[in-house]
Amino acid sequence: MIVFKIQKKLQSASGEMLLNLDFEIKENEFVTLYGASGSGKTTTLRILSGLSEADKGIITIHNETWLDTDKKIQLPPQKRKIAYVFQDYALFPNMSVRENLSYALEKGQDKTIIEELLALMELEQLQHQKPAQLSGGQKQRVALARALVRKPDILLLDEPLSAVDHEMRLKLQDYIIQVHHKYKLTTILVSHDIAEIYKMSDKVIVLENGNISKQGTPEQVFSSRLVSGKFQFVGEILKIEKENFIYIVVVLIGNNVVKIIAMEEEIKDLNIGNKVLIASKAFNPIITKIDL
Amino acid sequence: MNLLTGEIIAIKTEGSLSLVKVMVQDCAITSIVIETPETATYLRIDNKIKIVFKETEVVLAKAFSGAISLQNKLDCNVHSFEKGKLLCKIILNFQNTKFASVITRNAFDQLDIKENDLVQAMIKTNEISLATHD
Amino acid sequence: MIDFEPIYLTLKLAFCTTIILLVLSLPLAYWLAYSKLKSKVIIEAIVSLPLVLPPSVLGFYLLLAFSPENAFGKFLDQYFDIRLVFTFPGLVIASVLYSLPFMVQPIQNGFKSLSKSLIEASLLLGKSKTETLIKVLIPNIKKAILTGIVLTFAHTIGEFGVVLMVGGSIPSETKVVSIAIYDEVQAMNYHNANIYAGILFAFAFVVLLCVYSINHRFSQTNPLQ
């Protein structure tokens, strides 16, 4: 269980802002921090990992105190066993993929973890390459593997998927979900992508100007309206076609393109590129097996 | 998307399915959902709820007699309509609110729909979604 | 025939200065690149002073400081039996101070060009700052370090004013090539001056040529460095 009660004054584009957070995260939970840029998401991860200092507050992890400003306890980042995946990957350019992973080994640690992670992340073919030779998605896999070498309990992901293309993004999400379960991690992800949040997280914490404005399951946070829709997906509008008084909305869900009929009143607030929730009664879809 | 507001007056549950009866003014409308009062907090008698259904799922009948399996029958009169080559959209007055139906042009012509006509709008139980009142 | 002693002395001086500066500058540049102390601008200004001061000014103050007539020189003389004026060690110290910015600035810029997340990633992998410096930062600023080494080496070879002030022109002790050229010209030995000047010229050119071609290859095979 992570208990996080923190206050920190931040300088943002719109002036001074007080980051004032109080939340708890259960063991093995997958939590996403969601909010506009500048709302304090990255700072939250940095404070949790010890890279940034808080003005006031406490952090306890499984009843171990990492930070208590009143008692002047502040564990340095080295002692907080945390896997942190940076937005810019932060791979060491002078080291090969394998060397990047080996660097993370603790003194006397069993080296088999390196082979395990290289295999799990499908990096064996790339292990002797330098980071400069890798694609964005490959770099991200290396960064994730490297962060897990020390077998941490907590995984922090700072918008790790924002710089890769859509298909790679879906694949990386699967890798992350896989390691989250395999290593029984408690994972905190910073993300802007609602579809991604639906797919990955148990819980969403929405930050607004340094405060928690909402928290709950993705359904509770993003789609409180249509509660009985069991057949629902989040997608992105690609196209809106008008046919008389009927509109055909083309939506990308994952990597499938679907079409939805809508009326004029529904179209009013919709624009191309909008994220939308598509819901139907679970009674309507027809299910058939695909023979390969 | 059509939206009506009502209050839950009855819930019948079997397994993980529930048949929910919602009173919309003086008309009872039923919906079937894959939820039970145990799994969903909004399934409570007297709870205010919205019922949601697609225009294209609204069947229209005129001077209908005989038995039919459709449970939700709403007496309406025609407020206005828009005609296309294939489809027609009919705006209906239902008590003090409005909703729409989209049917084929053929059906529209057969029913000979005109403004202020009395029609029965019917919606299958499994086509009605519930949304929380906010 | 010319005397080769000044050439040997010049190379020895440049070599010693470069080694000492490299060892001093890595931690100093690291501190200047990453420290959040506001007072670091004072240190930055001091480090850069030799860039703007005439060499004779620096040489003059060093001469005063090293002189056994004054406190610092007297202290060294009395307690350590070290005399820095007109000696080779004195020359090395003067050169180190005079070439300081040529080593510190490229390395400091090298550190600054690295993403801060490299350090943070290393810390979060449980490594100390020293280990991070040696295994992550330094290998990734090789080009900057090489630039510092070359600039320092070349700058020390070409030094004249400070050397003249602090070292004078004592054969086999402080008479480096640049001083030798001056002496030969004073003595109207244009032939010898020409040879010394030619050697210095050719040497400087070859060194720079080597470095630029190495640097070039570096940046081609490894764009991140």
d(CA C16, CA C93) in angstroms, rounded, equals 10
Q: Is pLDDT above 90 for A162?
A: no
Q: What is the mean pLDDT of residues B40-66?
A: 89
Interface with chain C: mutation pick from A81, A92, A102, highest number of C CBs within 10 Å:
A92
Q: A231-280: which CATH number, 3.10.20.30, 3.90.1150.10, 2.60.40.420, 2.40.50.100?
A: 2.40.50.100
Q: What is the mean pLDDT of residues B3-24?
A: 92
A47-56, A283-292, C82-91, C162-171: lowest mean pLDDT where?
A283-292
d(CA A240, CA A73) in angstroms, rounded, equals 56
For C74-119, the three-class secondary structure string (H helix, E strand, C coil) is: HHHHHHHCCCCCCCHHHHHHHHHHHHHHHHHHHHHHHHHHCCHHHH
pLDDT tens for A233-258 read 888 889 998 888 889 899 988 788 89
CB distance B4 to B51 below 8 Å: yes
Q: Among B21, B59, B54, which Cα is nearest to A229's?
A: B54
> What range does the domain containing C109 cover?
5-221
Residues of chain B in contact with residue A229, where contact means CB-CB under 8 angstroms, are 129
Neighbours of chain B (3+ CB pairs under 8 A): A
Q: Which two tokens stand for residue C157?
A: 């070879």
Residue B50, beta-bridge partner list: B5, B131
pLDDT of residue C22: 94
Task: For residue B101, give how far its alpha carbon lies from the nearest alpha carbon of chain A (Å).
Answer: 10
Q: Is pLDDT above 70 for B134?
A: no
Residues of chain B in contact with residue A243, where contact means CB-CB under 8 angstroms, are 84
- CA dihedral in degrees (A50, A53, A58, A61; nearest 10)? -10
What are the backbone dihedrals phi and psi of residue C32, each rounded to the nearest 5 degrees, phi first?
-65, -35
Q: What is the mean pLDDT of residues B98-113?
A: 93
pLDDT of residue A113: 93
Number of domain units in chain C: 1
pLDDT-derived band at C206 (thresholds 50, 70, 90) equals confident
Please report the number of interchain residue pairs, chain A to chain C, with beta-carbon separation below 8 angstroms.
66
pLDDT-derived band at A220 (thresholds 50, 70, 90) equals confident
pLDDT of residue C159: 85
Q: Is pLDDT above 90 for A116?
A: yes
pLDDT of residue C225: 38
pLDDT-derived band at C223 (thresholds 50, 70, 90) equals very low
CB distance B112 to B90 below 8 Å: no
Which of the pair, C141 or C158, is modelled with greater confidence?
A: C141
Q: What is the mean pLDDT of residues C97-122?
A: 93
CB contact under 8 A, A78 and C117: no
Question: In 10 A of CB B96, how many CB atoms?
Answer: 6
pLDDT of residue B23: 94
A138-142, C56-60, C116-120, C166-170: lowest mean pLDDT where?
C166-170
Q: Is pLDDT above 60 for A225?
A: no
For chain B, the three-class secondary structure string (H helix, E strand, C coil) is: CEEEEEEEEEEEEECCEEEEEEEECCEEEEEEECCCCCCCCCCCCCCEEEEEECHHHCEEECCCCCCCCCCEEEEEEEEEEEECCCEEEEEEEECCEEEEEEEEHHHHHHHCCCCCCEEEEEECHHHCEEEECC
CB distance C166 to C62 below 8 Å: yes
d(CA C176, CA C34) in angstroms, rounded, equals 38
Q: Which two tokens stand for residue A103?
A: 């660097």
**How far is Cα of residue A118 from the mean position of the Cα atoms in its chain?**
22
Whether this model's ipTM surpasses 0.90 comes out as no
CB contact under 8 A, C124 and A131: no
Q: What is the mean pLDDT of residues C190-214?
A: 86
Structural class in CATH, domain B2-132? mainly beta
pLDDT-derived band at C220 (thresholds 50, 70, 90) equals low
C64: helix, strand or coil? helix
Interface with chain B: mutation pick from A228, A244, A247, highest number of B CBs within 10 Å:
A228
A35-39, A178-182, A245-249, B124-128: lowest mean pLDDT where?
A35-39
Q: Is pLDDT above 70 for A229?
A: no
Q: What is the mean pLDDT of residues C46-60?
A: 89
Chain C contact for A93 (CB, 8 A cutoff) = yes
**From chain B, which residues contact A within 8 Å (Cβ)?**
1, 31-35, 40, 42, 52, 54-56, 82, 84-87, 89, 100, 102, 126-132, 134
Angle (CA) B82-B88-B91 rounded to 5° is 60
Neighbours of chain C (3+ CB pairs under 8 A): A
Q: What is the mean pLDDT of residues B105-133?
A: 91
> Would you list the domain boundaries of chain A?
2-222, 231-280
Determine the residue of chain A that is closest to B56 in CA distance: A261
Residues of chain C in contact with residue A108, where contact means CB-CB under 8 angstroms, are none
Domain of C147: which CATH number?
1.10.3720.10
A16-20, A65-69, B88-92, C221-225: lowest mean pLDDT where?
C221-225
CB distance B19 to B11 below 8 Å: yes
Question: In 10 A of CB A43, how many CB atoms?
Answer: 22
Q: Is pLDDT above 50 for C224?
A: no
Q: Is pLDDT above 90 for A48?
A: yes
Which of the pair, A292 or A125, is modelled with greater confidence?
A: A125
H or E element that contains A274:
none
Q: What is the mean pLDDT of residues B98-109?
A: 94
pLDDT of residue A228: 62
pLDDT tens for A256-265 read 889 888 888 8
**Roughly what angle, to the nearest 10 degrees, separates helices C190-221 and C142-157?**
180
What are the backbone dihedrals phi and psi of residue B43, each rounded to the nearest 5 degrees, phi first?
-80, 80
Q: What is the mean pLDDT of residues C60-71?
A: 85
> Would you list the domain boundaries of chain B?
2-132
pLDDT of residue B133: 64
Q: Which two tokens stand for residue A37?
A: 């840029």
Q: Among B63, B17, B77, B69, which Cα is nearest to B43's?
A: B17
d(CA B69, CA B75) in angstroms, rounded, equals 17
CB contact under 8 A, C224 and A150: no
Task: For residue A220, give how far its alpha carbon lies from the nearest alpha carbon of chain B (Å).
Answer: 11
Q: Is pLDDT above 60 for C190?
A: yes
d(CA B112, CA B118) in angstroms, rounded, equals 11
Q: How would you classify the pairing of strands B87-94 and B72-83?
A: antiparallel
Q: Which two tokens stand for residue C208?
A: 């720079």
Q: What is the CATH number of domain A2-222?
A: 3.40.50.300
CB contact under 8 A, C123 and A130: no
Which of the pair, B121 or C218, is modelled with greater confidence?
A: B121
pLDDT of residue C175: 86
Task: For residue A243, give how far its alpha carbon lies from the nearest alpha carbon of chain C (Å).
Answer: 52
d(CA A194, CA A204) in angstroms, rounded, equals 10
CB distance A84 to A158 below 8 Å: yes
pTM of the model: 0.70
Q: What is the mean pLDDT of chain B?
A: 90
Q: Is pLDDT above 80 for A14?
A: no
Chain C contact for A90 (CB, 8 A cutoff) = yes
pLDDT of residue C103: 94
Q: What percent of chain A has a predicted confidence (pLDDT) above 90?
A: 53
Q: Which two tokens stand for residue A275?
A: 């994220």
Q: What is the mean pLDDT of chain A?
A: 88
DSSP state of A125: G
